[in-house]
Structure 1
Amino acid sequence: MAKRPSDQEQDVPEFTQFNDLCNETVGGQILFATDDWFAVAENLLKASPPEWREGEFTACGKWMDGWETRRRRAPGHDWAVLRLGVPGIIKGVLIDTAYFTGNYAPKVSLQAAYLQPKDEECIPQRKSEMGRAASEEEMRQIQQLQSQEWAYLLPMTPLKPGYEDSRFNYFNINNQEKWTHLRFNLYPDGGIARLRVFGEVQFDRNTLLGKKIDLLSILNGSVCVKYSNAHYGHPRNIMKLNPGKDMGDGWETARRLDRPSILKVDKNNILQVPGNEWAIFKLGCSGTIQEIEVDTSHFKGNFPDSIKVEGTKDINGDVLWEILLPPAKLSPHKNHIYLESALQAKGPFSYIRVTIAPDGGISRLRLWGHAV
């Protein structure tokens, strides 16, 4: 039987509305780990929630969906170096210990640096496989990076075990510097299911001027600031770079309970319903919009009936939303393209409101235009 969300799950910090800068879907990458005995460090960056496989074992031990090192029997502690998918200012982190109950890392810390590509030359080639540890030669090479000297974003801090009511370990980060790489320290060893690094993408806006870009892309600094419902998938998913891989990789709401018992349509074949769901995005760059893509891939029996896109310059005070794309009928499992001739307004806009009716899911949204 499904469980209602606990008070802890509902009481999440505001920084979680920012984008995850280290997720595998934005290009986050593990560059080095001291040990990958039970489970490799790449699992930390998986986009999917952690899973449990009852009774499943590997040649190295119990199968675990996270990063788990062996029980350390030598001086020191375990640690890993990762490259953020996009450089940015880190607002907070979530360290999820799901299913690691008697084997979670008791304490962790997080360090950060801003590196250039040439700084990575001393990092040994990554060998991601269970049952191995970094060799003496690999340890010698990585020491040239001097990662132990990096700035601390999170000092040595205790964690809670991976039971359902204690797995989510949230930490605010009070730092305004821009970072590209992290060192994640376990003290002294153990397992972590997922690492989420929430932050604000930083880039040179002048490099975008004159180019046709996706103004809603995470790479261009956009962020979801408000939404009505995210029961099955957060609206920020529709800003991701790569095509959606399944329904869980998009924005999907619960079914609205106010939908009519008998459905009717208007002359444009759009359902007449009293309610809808919406999400508001702050664009990383204000811009004018010439083309819109709405992708409902994987949403075959649960796509929205229609979508509307509006824009504004400011959401403080009395907000005047201009209709960019009037209500448009959607189809299942399809990429819909709306050219400039279908748009009522161009902007420039700094905020976008996406409304789907009555409910459902979309995989990706692209707003092609020019930064101003």
Structure 2
Amino acid sequence: TDGNDWCILRLGKSGVIREVDIDTNHFIGNFPSHASIEACAMPEFSGLDEIIGNGEWVEILPKTELNGDSQNIFQISSEQSFTHLRLHIYPDGGVARFRAYGSPSYTSQNENKLIDFALGDNGGELISCSDMHFSHMRNLIKSTTGIDMSDGWETKRRRGPGYDWAILKLGSPCIIERVLVDTLHFKGNFPDSCSIEGCNAPDIKKKEILSNIIEWKEILSQSKLVANQESVIILNLNSPITHIRFNIFPDGGVSRLRILGRSVL
């Protein structure tokens, strides 16, 4: 039948690709006969749907024959800087390793990078949550990728109505532009959906956060989540936010929460 398999990779840093290695070691009777590579440049924290649908993909390696049980090394002539690669294999088969070599780009664009205001390193602080039966809420704002389920925030199963929540003080008052909810490692126990409420209360004390004096405003309506995957949601907000309440329905595990935006200070 027609068609081929493919995968999309995010580069560690944006940069110019000089050489690629499509390694088929140990694949003798089941390696792809051919491969091609496309590349695109996307804003940081772009979601998968954005990358697939809006990425301006450029072919940097045309459909080329591969050898089995070999390192297939190809030179790349493009001088463009890219953030993502899409490896196509024809029609299917096995690849042991895929490596891309090149020069990272350090440009003034970094001045406009979105900041993760949930991150502990940036001053984010988790204040309270409804439950942390299996693992601690503070794991949500670690800078590293989750190691396993115990390295995320997981609540116990609910046997009645309601939902779980966590309240987070952001590192600085900010205009939130994107939210990233990562359910890495959570496959049968991820939340069905989530929502986020926010408030602008820079001078409020911790003990007052849990009282009814806070006027929470919904900034993300209840949205479906996917198992073992990052969900990136674009927001269109005009008002600064200092605190958020992250709600998960009905319960479950989330590896990381990123609140991405720009400071108003």
- Tell me, yes or no, if structure 1 residue 172 matches structure 2 residue 240: no
Aligned position for 1:7? 8
1:32 aligns with 2:128: yes
Q: CA deviation at 1:9?
A: 4.3
Q: Structure 2 vs 1, CA of residues 13 and 85 (structure 1 numbering), >3 Å: closer, same or farther?
A: farther
Give the distance between the partners of 1:39 and 1:14, measured in 2 at CA.
32
Q: Deviations over 1:287-312 (max 9, x none)?
A: xxxxxxxxxxxxxxxxxxxxxxxxxx
Quote the residue 1:114 is aligned against.
200
Is 1:191 matched with 2:253? yes
1:144 pairs, out of 212, 234, 241, with 212
1:144-182: CA deviation from partner (whole Å, max 9, x where unpaired): 244xx52222100000100xxxx1101001112111000
Residue 155 (structure 1) aligns with: 221
Query: Is 2:144 the partner of 1:48?
Result: yes
Matches within 5 A, 1:277-296: none
One-letter identity of the residue aligned with 2:178: G
Distance 1:112 1:80 in 2: 12
The answer to whether 1:82 aligns with 2:205 is no
Q: Quote the sequence identity (%).
A: 33
Cα pair 2:135 2:152 within 8 Å, conserved? yes
Q: Deviations over 1:171-225 (max 9, x none)?
A: 001112111000100001001000011100111xxxxxxxxxxxxxxxxxxxxxx
Superposed CA RMSD: 2.2
Higher relative contact order (CA 8 A, sep 6+): 2
**Aligned equivalents of 1:95, 1:42: Cα separation in 2:** 15
Contact residue 173 and residue 202 of structure 2 kept, 8 A: no
Alpha-carbon distance in structure 2 between the residues aligned to 1:15 and 1:9 = 10
1:113–1:182 CA contact under 8 A, matched in 2: yes
Structure 2 unaligned spans of 5+? 1-5, 12-39, 46-112
Query: 2-side partners of 1:197 and 1:143: how far apart?
Result: 23
Q: What does the per-residue CA deviation read over 1:121-148, in whole Å, with 9 as the maximum and x for residues that have no partner?
A: 324xxxxxxxxxxxxxxxxxx24244xx
5 Å-filtered alignment, 1:1-372, equals 6-7=7-8, 9=10, 14=43, 16=45, 17-52=113-148, 64-123=150-209, 142-146=210-214, 149-162=215-228, 167-203=229-265
Cα distance between partner residues in 1 of 2:251 and 2:208:
25
**Separation in structure 1 between the aligned mates of residue 160 and residue 42 of structure 2, nearest angstrom:** 37
In the alignment, structure 1 segments of 5+ residues that lack a partner are 53-62, 124-141, 204-372
The alpha carbon displacement at 1:118 in A equals 3.2
TM-aligned CA deviation for residue 21 of structure 1: 1.0
Question: What displacement does 1:13 show?
Answer: 6.2
Q: Is the 8 A contact 1:50 1:98 kept in 2?
A: yes
Q: Go from structure 1 to structure 2 and tell me whether the alpha carbon gap of 1:101 and 1:145 turns closer, same or farther (over 3 Å shift).
A: farther
Q: Post-superposition shift, 1:36?
A: 0.4
SS at match of 1:64: helix
Corresponding residue number in structure 2 for 1:309: none
CA distance in 2, matches of 1:97, 1:104: 6
Higher strand proportion: 2
For residue 155 of structure 1, what is the amino acid of its counterpart?
S
1:254-284 CA-to-partner distances (Å, cap 9, x unmatched) read xxxxxxxxxxxxxxxxxxxxxxxxxxxxxxx
Structure 1 CA distance for aligned equivalents of residues 42 and 185 of structure 2: 22
Alignment partners' CA distance in 1, 2:41 and 2:182: 13
**Distance in 2 between the 1:22 and 1:192 partners?**
14
After TM superposition, the score normalised by the length of structure 2 is: 0.58
Is the CA contact (8 Å cut-off) linking 1:119 and 1:145 kept in structure 2? no
Instruction: Report the alpha carbon displacement of residue 8 of structure 1 after superposing the two structures with TM.
Output: 6.6
* Partner SS, residue 79 of structure 1: strand
SS in 1 for 2:151: coil
How has the CA–CA distance of structure 1 residues 90 and 118 changed in structure 2, closer, same or farther, with 3 Å as cutoff? closer
In the alignment, the residues of structure 2 paired with residue 66 and residue 30 of structure 1 have an alpha-carbon distance, to the nearest angstrom, of 13
Cα distance in 2, alignment partners of residues 13 and 143 from structure 1:
42
Supply the distance in 2 between the matched residues of 1:183 and 1:12 (Cα, whole angstroms).
Answer: 33
The answer on whether the counterparts of 1:15 and 1:199 sit within 8 Å (CA) in structure 2 is no
